């Protein structure tokens, strides 16, 4: 699941897949903007069949915090 998450994040943020670790900060380490995060959330919803609310997304700070959201379907 982390590999697919890396692939999706790389579509929106210009970083190497190896830089996307569970502890990587989406904003500080990967440079994701609010717009990037919204696009990533939509792509994750489409790929994994989950729903990620704006409130939930606002509470996500690092890559590892996205993983439980993807398993919540």
Quick check: 73 pLDDT over 60? no
pLDDT at 72 over 90: no
The pLDDT assigned to 71 comes to 82
User: How many C-beta atoms lie closer than 10 Å to residue 60's C-beta?
Assistant: 18
Domains of the chain: 2-70 (1.10.1200.10)
48: pLDDT confidence band, cut at 50, 70 and 90? very high
Q: Which residue has the tokens 């509470």?
A: 59
Per 3-state DSSP, what percentage of the chain is helix, strand, and coil (rounded to 5)? Answer: 55, 5, 40
Cβ atoms within 10 Å of 50's Cβ, excluding its own: 15
CA distance 73 to 71: 6
């Amino acid at each position: 699941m982390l590999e697919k998450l890396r692939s999706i994040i790389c579509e929106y943020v210009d970083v190497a897949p190896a830089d996307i670790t569970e502890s990587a900060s989406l904003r500080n380490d990967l440079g994701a903007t609010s717009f990037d995060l919204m696009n990533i959330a939509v792509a994750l919803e489409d790929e994994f069949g989950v729903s990620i609310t704006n409130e939930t997304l606002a509470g996500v700070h690092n890559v590892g915090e996205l993983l439980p959201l993807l398993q919540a379907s």
